[in-house]
Each structure stands twice: as C-alpha cells, then as structure tokens.
Amino acid sequence: MMLQGPGLTDLHAVVDEVWSSFLGHEEPLLPALPDPASAGGITWSAATSVTGAWNGVVTVEIPDAVAHTATERMLGLVAGQALTTEDVADAVGELVNMIGGNVKSLMPGPSVLSLPLVARGTIASPSDLAEVSCLDLTWAGAPLRITVLARRDAPTQAADRSARNSADTRESA
C-alpha cells in the first residue's frame, strides 16, 4: 500500500516560509546531508499529529543551539538571555505546530491537527508509522531534521476532539 505524504519540494517550501517569517533572513536554511555525527548536543524533538482523511505525524528535531536561538527570536529576547525549559518547549512547539499545520493542508482532508508535543531527546517512531518524507537542513551551521510519517493502517475513527476538550475542562470546572 503506497503511503501518501507531502512532496519534498512542498515540505521544503513550508519549512522555508516558517523559518524566514519568524527567524529572519540573515542565515538561510540550506540543504544538508544527514550526518549522525553532528547529532551531538542535546536535541529537542517536537511532534504534532494529523488525524482524518490522512493520518500522520510531523516531527522537528533540532539541537539545543537552534532551539535557543529560535526561542530568543520568537520571544523577542536579547541573545544570550536565560531561557526556561518552558520557553524553549513553547517556541519549538509553535514551530512544529506551524509546519504540521501547513503539511496538514497539503494532504487530503478533512483532518484535525493535534496540540504539539515537545521533548528533550529523540522521539522513537512507533512501528505503525512509516517515514514518507525527510528533510535534512542546516541553519547557521547547525543541523535540523523535519520528518513526515504516515500511519500504515488508518484508525477506525478520527480523534474525538470533544472528548479531549472535555477531559481538559474537567480541571478548570
């Protein structure tokens, strides 16, 4: 069964637009060869999933330095200012949210985008997901990787948003 995913050109265009809109034009995003050795340094991984007519996950993996610079730019902070883990998680989450949201609109709909999940370290992909696109880039000398995975078997029903919402509102009631 052929798994669908966004073409690399479209994926690259999406990442480019997200990066240049919020992280500036001075350093361009350049294509890179995947280099396991350069995965040194703590990596941030963020993921968002798309559920519906197309089911998949979009992940962004970036080293600490990229995560910090991105956070500084998005929060409008002076370079080198102390950042909390929450700050970085929030900024990286928003990046994957924007990339994931645009990937969602490239794929057949209707579908729903999940809230982002951010972790330090790499997210291992479960066996029911297969990679359909992988983009390796460098930004100011640091590596980043954006991956799109698609589910091998579609779930029997789309994620129940109202169930998730009512689970969230239980605490604030």
Binding to another protein (CB under 8 A) within 19-78 occurs at: 21-22, 24, 71, 74-76
Q: Please give the structure tokens belonging to residue 105.
A: 């609109």
The residue ranges of DSSP E strands in the chain, in sequence order, are: 29-31, 43-52, 56-63, 111-113, 117-120, 129-139, 142-151
Q: Which of 114, 112, 123, 127 is nearest to 145 (CA)?
A: 123
| Cβ neighbours for 132, distance < 8 A, ≥ 6 positions apart | 3, 4, 5, 6, 56, 148, 149, 150
State the Cα–Cα distance between residues 81 and 100, nearest whole angstrom.
28
Q: Would you count residue 104 as binding another protein (CB under 8 A)? A: yes
Q: Would you count residue 8 as binding another protein (CB under 8 A)? A: no
76 or 126: whose CB is closer to another protein?
76
CA angle centred on 107, ends 17 and 31, rounded to 5°: 40
Task: Tell which one of 127, 156, 157, 169 touches another protein (CB under 8 A).
Answer: 169
The span of 37-45, 96-104, 121-129, 148-156 binding another protein (CB under 8 A) equals: 96-104
Task: Tell which one of 62, 66, 113, 137 touches another protein (CB under 8 A).
Answer: 113
Q: Are 92 and 80 in contact (CB under 8 A)?
A: no
Task: Tell which one of 28, 41, 109, 155 touches another protein (CB under 8 A).
Answer: 109
Task: Tell which one of 3, 106, 117, 123 touches another protein (CB under 8 A).
Answer: 106
* Residue ranges that bind another protein, judged by CB under 8 A: 7, 10, 13-14, 17-18, 21-22, 24, 71, 74-76, 86-87, 90-91, 93-94, 97-98, 100-102, 104-106, 109-110, 113, 115, 164-165, 168-169, 172
